[in-house]
Amino acid sequence: MRGTVNTTSTSEDVVVRLRDIGKTFPGVVANHDVNIDIKRGTVHAIVGENGAGKSTLMKILYGVQKPDSGTIEVNGTQVALSSPADAIGAGIGMVFQHFMLADNLSVLENVVLGAEKLHGIGDAARTKIIEISDAYGLDIEPDRLVEDLGVGARQRVEILKVLYRGASIIILDEPTAVLVPQEVDELFGNLRELKSEGLAVIFISHKLDEVLSVADEVTVIRRGATVDTVPASSVSSKQLAEMMVGSELPDPSTETSTVTDKVILEIRDLTLPAPGGGRDLLQDVDLVIHSGEILGIAGVEGNGQSELVEAVMGMRPCNVGSVSLGGQDLVGRSTRERREAGMGYIPEDRHRHGLLLDAPLWENRILGHQTREPNVNGPLIDRSGARKDTQRIVDQYDVRTPGIDTLARALSGGNQQKLIVGREMADDPILLIASHPTRGVDVGAQAAIWNHIKRARREGLAVLLISADLDELIGLSDTIRVILRGRLGETFDPATVTPAMLGSAMTGADA
Amino acid sequence: MTRNPRTLKIALAVGAPLLALVAAFLITSLVLILAGDDVGGVWGQILSLPTDRGYINILNAATVYYLSAIAVAIGFRMNLFNIGVDGQYRIAAFTAAVVAGEGWLPGYFNTALAMLAAVLVGAAWAGIAGLLRVTRGVSEVISTIMLNAIATALVAYLLRKAAVKDTGSNITATKEVPEGSRIGGIKLFGDVPATVYGLIFLAVAVGFLYWFVINKTTFGFDLRATGSSETAAVASGINVKRMIVISMLLSGGVAGLVGMPLLFGNDYAYGSTFQSGLGFAGIAIALLGRNHPVGIALGALLFAFLDEQSNPLQILLEISPDIVKITQGTIVLTVVIAYEVVRRYGVRLEQRRVASALDDEPATEGVKA
């Protein structure tokens, strides 16, 4: 697919011009025919599915990777960017998704670290930081410790770091992934400030509504190539999504309620003390999930979601409170016994908890089901049984793979996840614990996974759903509970709740 | 990508150790050249055909190497570094020698009892490291090294108590194993009195069991899963702590068998001259053989071959046979590098294969209704 570029812009407006950029990794074409013009004083969004090549493209622009072909022009001059230092020299700065800040240092120290030559490390630097902070409305106090700052403020420190180094082109990689809705609004305010001062902001995201609310122009990337660049004012998020995937946007929303009154999971007064003392990781958690019900847990990451999942799965020993499954008390039961009792588990981090990356798919089918048919025959592995069932999963769940002897590592994230979903649904579980089931997967796989969860729900499956994607949470869930600092708070009805309401509850803003 | 992926996989698996061997030979040659020794003479001797007696020595040495390497490999499959095989086999062999020397039971019952004792003691000695790891978080690398030192001292101390005084000899050793409890050798060549250890079949049986348990049983699956990803193992319901203790016990139990061919087929007693250092050779051979029962067998034979062929170097060329220790050491280094290179290459090939196999499909993943 050849990229088309809007050629009407005058060349002096264009600060970054990418022409025919190509980059190949062994076996994978990450980018080809990428053509983008980024103009001064605009927010330019780059959208695409996971794996479409956005990250590679940004690494090329930031000098982390060298392109195999194509040219990069910055302010009309062709440049060769072979290190981030070159990029910074050319006025390009990058704010990574994962912050690179030293918690135990002050904002000032973090900002000058590695840029001591610019304005020293003392008062001159402090003055400069305050000057930048005021100019762009970043609201940063140079002498505060980073560990005392919230997520939004840390991100602003990262932006300030880039500005301090003289960048006039700022790349933000999925900046909103770590923010709650209110913080997103603040960030967008900052970005508008930046562009009004004549800077160019490159905004990478796959959240289309956000993109449309902040960007001036949007470039869509699919399968490594630019599809088109369009003004944000002229497209809808649905149109963008269709450009991204070439098909219709999936919808998480469930149809009619299938909730029954049969209790599947019942948690009473579950408390999990912190290992090193301090605030309990979970405190007096009460929750009930019925057959045919999806219960969604909303919360800012790190508020006890992982601990809740691990406690229910028996991966964390916990003696306070009770957990029962289908009326059966689970206290003291091992993870394996819980799985055998009918728990399926889609882990949050599939590479760490869901797969043996260097094992073939059929061996991964056995993982977590080592004691059950068709994988085993007494104490022996039933190789042919496991292989046959793996083939069934590959077919039914549309896992794109050349065969079941392929190593799990070689599959794309979405296909790995579909395999996990198929495996966890395989033994007719009565409860599915789904932690971020569609995180980092492409839209096609996302729709497929949603469909499988919805189908199982109709058949009476109870689901504990943890997700940072509020649309997914609202769309799929029958009930939403908010978790904050290890406590389950308000209950929301997904039919009436908005992401903003959830966002307030998640940060405790309305408490 | 027309080649059959399976053939390619095998070619890579064989190619890596061959590459490593060549590299190790080159490095050894370099050392010889720098020292001004006769490179051609050394390789001429080492790479010549062994004598009839040499063949027997090689098989015998390979038998004990094999058992040692299997003991190490059990740990490796779990990502456990049991450096303590050396201490485990020595303390086990000493125990077995004392038990067998007492001769409480007649004939082969005595042998069986002594070997059982060896397995239990080896397992217990390794089990200490396993327990320390799961209860106190002590790295098994550290604790097994410490336990080696303790085993050395403990055996030396106990040997003085258990030793029989043999007038006219300065060798301290336990009581000899009664004739009826010894395990006879197998004659390979009519005119050579030396024999192959009868317990070579024990090594073969252990190798088969190792292969079977690791690859065919759910226990083996749990063990491999834990070795390749502890976090995934926990999520799948494997009790990782229990697996650590069990695999240390198994590793130590097999380590307990390492000294048995020597005890019942050659030495008939445990004394100050009992062969040492087998545990460390086992680590190298397990690495070389990639924890595969056949690979380990080849590795054990290779190490035994190098040992045997280098023996006459001192007499023939006045070069210390220790030169092969350099070869063996560099083999281990180069093989680790070669395997890693091949592994990465294999992963790249696999990814390319997946990419090319899926490339024919439609450009976007449609929503499956």
**Res A408 pLDDT > 50:** yes
Distance from the A358 Cα atom to the nearest Cα atom in chain B, whole angstroms: 8
**Does the beta-carbon distance from B239 to A334 stay under 8 Å?**
yes
Query: Where would I find the beta strands (DSSP E) of A399-454?
Result: 431-435
B116 CB contacts (<8 Å, ≥6 apart)?
Answer: none
Q: CB–CB of B65/B296 below 8 Å?
A: no
- Test B347 with A407 for CB contact under 8 angstroms: yes
How distant, in Å, are the alpha carbons of B74, B88, B97, B148, B246 from that of B249?
10, 11, 21, 16, 5
Mean of pLDDT values over A490-496? 87
Query: Could you report the per-residue pLDDT of A258-272, keeping only the tens digit for each?
Result: 788 888 999 988 888
* A27 close to B (CB below 8 A): yes
A352–B232 C-beta distance less than 8 A: yes
Q: Would the CB atoms of B235 and A28 count as touching at under 8 Å? A: no
Nearest beta carbon to residue A379 from set B215, B218, B368: B218
Could A356 and B218 be called an inter-chain contact, meaning their C-beta atoms sit closer than 8 Å? no
Question: Can you give the pLDDT at residue A89?
Answer: 86
CA distance B297 to B285: 9
Tokens standing for residue A361: 């798919």
Q: What is the pLDDT of residues A205-231, one digit of tens each?
A: 877 788 888 889 998 887 778 888 888
Spatial distance between the Cα atoms of A397 and A364, rounded to a whole number of angstroms: 15
Average pLDDT over residues A294-318: 87
pLDDT digits (tens, 9 = 90+) for A331-384: 888 899 999 999 999 998 888 899 998 899 999 999 989 888 888 888 898 989
A353 secondary structure, DSSP code? I
Chain A interface disruption, residue of B213, B241, B242, B354, most A CBs within 10 A: B354
Mutate to test the interface with A, among B214, B224, B236, B351 (most CBs of A within 10 A): B236
Contact A339 B356 (CB under 8 A): no
User: Which residues from chain A sit within 8 angstroms of residue B235, using beta carbons?
Assistant: 313, 315, 335, 345, 347, 353-354, 368
Q: Check CB contact under 8 Å for A356 and B350.
A: no
- Separation between Cα atoms, residue B262 and residue B277, nearest integer Å: 13
- Please report residues of B whose CB lies closer than 8 A to that of A406: 350, 353-354
pLDDT at A294: 92
Say yes or no: ipTM exceeds 0.90. Answer: no
Cβ contact A26–B357 (<8 Å): no
> How far is the C-alpha of A298 from the C-alpha of A473, rounded, in Å?
7
The pTM for the full model equals: 0.75
Q: Is the pLDDT reported for residue A249 higher than 80?
A: no
pLDDT value at residue A466? 92
Confidence of residue A75 (pLDDT cuts 50, 70, 90): confident
**A-chain residues near B367 (CB < 8 A):** 247-248, 250, 444, 447-448
Q: Which residues of B touch A382 (CB under 8 A)?
A: none
Q: Does residue A333 sit in helix, strand or coil?
A: coil
Tell if the CB–CB gap between B218 and A381 is shorter than 8 Å. Answer: yes
CA dist., res. A413 & res. B235, Å (int): 19
CA distance A379 to chain B (A): 6
Closest-CA residue of B relative to A313 is B235
pLDDT in tens, A460-477: 899 999 988 888 888 889
Q: Are B198 and B182 in contact (CB under 8 A)?
A: no
| Three-class secondary structure assignment of chain B | CCCCHHHHHHHHHHHHHHHHHHHHHHHHHHHHHHCCCCHHHHHHHHCCCCCHHHHHHHHHHHHHHHHHHHHHHHHHHCCCCCCCHHHHHHHHHHHHHHHHHHCCCCHHHHHHHHHHHHHHHHHHHHHHHHHHHHHHCCCHHHHHHHHHHHHHHHHHHHHHHHCECCCCCCCCECCCCCHHHCCCCEECCCCCCCEECCCHHHHHHHHHHHHHHHHHEHHHHHHHHHHHCHHHHHHCCCCHHHHHHHHHHHHHHHHHHCCHHHHHHHHCCCECCCCCCHHHHHHHHHHHCCCCHHHHHHHHHHHHHHHHHHCCHHHHHCCCCCHHHHHHHHHHHHHHHHHHHHHHHHHHHHHHHHHHHHCCCCCCCCCCC
What is the three-state SS of A29-48? EEEEEEEEEEECCCEEEEEC
Does A341 reach chain B within 8 Å, measured CB to CB? no
Distance of CA A184 to the CA centre of its chain: 15
* CA-based nearest residue in chain B for residue A337: B237
A442 touches chain B (CB under 8 A): yes
Ranked by mean pLDDT, the top range of A136-140, A501-505, B200-204, B340-344 is B200-204
Give the one of B217, B237, B365 whose C-beta lies nearest to A368's C-beta: B237
pLDDT, greater one: B151 or A32: B151
E strands present in A232-375: 263-272, 282-290, 294-298, 320-325, 328-329, 343-346
* Chain A residue whose CA is closest to B226: A356
Whether A356 and chain B come into contact, CB under 8 Å, resolves to: yes
Interface of A with B in 280-319 (CB under 8 A): 313, 315
**Residue of B228, B237, B369 lying closest to A334 (CB–CB):** B237
Q: How many CB atoms within 10 Å of residue A458?
A: 13
Dist. CA A505–CA A511, nearest whole Å: 7
Q: Could you say which of A223, A250, A376 has the minimum Cβ distance to residue B363?
A: A223
- Picking from A463, A465, A474, the residue whose alpha carbon sits closest to that of residue A502 is A474
Q: What is the CA radius of gyration of chain B?
A: 23
Chain-chain contact of A26 with B361 (C-beta, under 8 angstroms): no
Residue A342 forms contact with B (CB below 8 Å): no
Contact status of A368 with chain B (Cβ, < 8 Å): yes
A397/A455 Cα distance (integer angstroms):
12
Chain B residues with CB-CB distance to A248 below 8 A: 367
Q: Identify the pLDDT of residue B14.
A: 80
How many cross-chain Cβ pairs, A to B, lie less than 8 Å apart?
A: 143
A354 CB within 8 Å of a chain B CB:
yes
pLDDT of residue A5: 45
* pLDDT score for A4: 43
- How far is the C-alpha of A201 from the C-alpha of A192, rounded, in Å? 9
- In terms of Cα–Cα distance, which of A267, A212, A307 is closest to A462? A267
Of B69, B24, B78, B20, residue with least CA distance to B289: B69
> Is A379 an 8 Å CB contact of chain B?
yes
b/e burial code for range A217-244 (CB count within 10 A of at least 16 → b): bbbbbbbbbbbbbbebeebebeebbbbb
The rounded mean pLDDT for chain A is: 84
If 0-12 CB within 10 Å is exposed, 13-18 middle and 19+ buried, where does residue B273 land? exposed
Q: B119 CB contacts (<8 Å, ≥6 apart)?
A: B92, B253, B254, B256, B257
C-alpha span between B57 and A489 (Å, rounded):
75
Q: Give the least confident one: A119-123, A273-277, A480-484, B214-218.
A: A273-277
> Sorting pLDDT into bands at 50, 70 and 90, what band is A54?
confident
Residue A449 touches partner B, C-beta closer than 8 Å: no
Higher pLDDT among residues A154 and A433, named by residue:
A433
Is residue A3 classed as helix, strand or coil in its secondary structure? coil
A370, closest residue in chain B (CA to CA): B218
Give chain B positions within 8 Å (CB) of A370: 218, 221-222, 225, 236-238
Amino acid, single-letter form, for residue A432? L
Closest CA of chain A from B281, distance in Å: 28
C-alpha–C-alpha distance, residues B63 and B44, integer Å: 26
List of residues 6+ apart from B153 with CB closer than 8 A? none
Tell me the shortest Cα–Cα distance from B240 to chain A, in angstroms: 11
Task: Chunk chain B into consecutive blocks of 10 residues (it has 369) and report each block's average pLDDT, rounded to whole numbers.
Answer: 64 82 89 86 87 90 95 93 93 93 87 94 95 92 93 91 70 81 82 86 95 93 92 92 94 94 89 87 91 93 91 82 86 87 82 70 36
State the pLDDT at residue A9: 47
Residue A247 confidence (pLDDT) above 70: no
Shortest distance between the Cα of A419 and any Cα of chain B, in A, equals 15
Q: Is residue A75 classed as helix, strand or coil in its secondary structure?
A: coil
Distance from CA of B205 to the nearest CA of A (A): 19
Q: What was the pLDDT predicted at A361?
A: 92
Partner residue facing A371 (CB), from B218, B232, B353: B218
Per the structure block, which two tokens stand in for A165?
């180094």
Whether B221 and A334 lie within 8 Å, measured CB to CB: no
